[in-house]
Amino acid sequence: MNSTYQAPRRLIKTADEIEKMRVAGKLAAEILDMIKPHIKAGVSTLELDTICHDYIVNTQNAIPACLGYGAAPGRNAFQHTICTSVNHVVCHGIPSESKILKNGDILNIDVTVIKDGYHGDTNMMYVIGETSILANRLCNVAQEAMYRGIATVKPGSSIGDIGHAIQKYVESERFSVVREYCGHGIGTVFHDEPQVLHYGQADTGMILEEGMTFTIEPMVNAGVWQTRLMGDKWTVVTKDHKLSAQYEHTLVVTATGVEILTARPDEDLSRFTA
């Protein structure tokens, strides 16, 4: 039998908090736009990181949330502003002077900023020059998977509906969904409850309510869903070294549906009614 449960009250944001999330979300989205003309063959991922860092700190007067985040036993804190995940890197790729982008690469940039105490978290894929038909299709499927997950969001639906919609679509395209990493509640806390799985059963998990804020960020693999963590304890790669792609938005559940807080001008979001 399926089961659902109610969210703890603290996960429901007030109108004032949602307004601050809107501001943070817009700043995060702007970075993905701002960095676009800088992404080309011959550029290192560290150069992209530096540009994003300086823009967040000096232009946006905001805080890069990833910088210094996530120290744990056996793992140093993340030392950069963005995650740069190229080709078979699934997520949490570390910007590096020696990682030079080349024609045909696919790159995910994931950025999280803090403004006025609230987080905005988003990521997208970029193609360097021209890439394969497969790589293009993988990126498109990852984006559409995210949109299909977002499209289920409204008061009264469940967290499980999101993962179900994503998994069903991705597997129908003969790709796989990463299991070990998920979306998350977000607000003053970077990674809060609930965990938003990108696979699973409809009508299971937490019931969505107006004012909940969380991310949806499916990672889609061309081969098997299994991943491996590198020795740096951050970089996640596909187990079979085939390509991986990801898209992420931060959103809020509205009275009748969903509002995407990290929307960019280049996106066609006409299917989503807030």
Give me the least distance between CB of 176 and ligand MF3, in Å please: 19
Annotate 123-157 with DSSP letters as a single string.
EEEEE-S---HHHHHHHHHHHHHHHHHHHT-STT-
Distances (CA, A) of 68 to 5, 77, 116: 34, 5, 18
E-strand stretches of 41-166:
63-64, 82-86, 89-91, 106-115, 118-127
Measured between alpha carbons, how far is 220 from 167 in angstroms, rounded to an integer? 9
Q: Which of residues 161 and 217 has its CB atom nearest to ligand MF3 in the complex?
A: 217
Give the one entry of Co ion, ligand MF3, none that residue 83 binds, where binding means its C-beta sits below a cut-off of 5 to 8 angstroms depending on kind. Answer: ligand MF3
Q: Which of residues 66 and 159 has its CB atom nearest to ligand MF3 in the complex?
A: 66
Among the listed ranges 20-28, 168-176, 207-215, 266-274, the one in contact with Co ion (CB under 5 A) is 207-215
For the segment 122-151, give every residue that binds Co ion (CB under 5 A): 123
Distances (CA, A) of 183 to 11, 49, 255: 15, 23, 21
116 phi-psi bin (left φ>0, alpha ψ -120 to 50, beta other): left
- 66 sits near ligand MF3 (criterion: CB under 6 A): yes
Question: ∠ CA(20), CA(21), CA(27), 5° rounding?
Answer: 95
Give the one entry of Co ion, ligand MF3, none that residue 99 binds, where binding means its C-beta sits below a cut-off of 5 to 8 angstroms depending on kind. Answer: none
Give me the least distance between CB of 240 and ligand MF3, in Å please: 23
Matching residue, tokens 């979001």: 269
- 49 sits near Co ion (criterion: CB under 5 A): no
Q: Residues 119-158 vs ligand MF3: string with x where CB under 6 A?
A: --x-------------------------------------
Contact 246, 85 (CB under 8 A): yes
- 121 sits near Co ion (criterion: CB under 5 A): yes
Phi/psi for 253 (5° steps) reads -75, 125
Which position among 69, 140, 263, 269 is part of the footprint of ligand MF3 (CB under 6 A)?
69
- 215 sits near Co ion (criterion: CB under 5 A): yes
For the segment 241-270, give every residue that binds Co ion (CB under 5 A): 248
Which position among 13, 20, 92, 119 is part of the footprint of ligand MF3 (CB under 6 A)?
92
For the segment 210-249, give every residue that binds ligand MF3 (CB under 6 A): 217, 234, 248
Q: Residues 25-64 vs ligand MF3: string with x where CB under 6 A?
A: ----------------------------------------
Contact 149, 198 (CB under 8 A): yes
Among the listed ranges 4-12, 38-46, 107-115, 167-175, the one in contact with Co ion (CB under 5 A) is 107-115
In the chain, count H helices and then E strands: 4, 17
- Of the candidates 107, 182, 146, 135, which has an alpha carbon nearest to the alpha carbon of residue 263? 146
Q: What does the binding site for ligand MF3 look like in residue numbers (CB under 6 A)?
A: 66, 69-70, 78, 83, 92, 110, 112, 121, 217, 234, 248
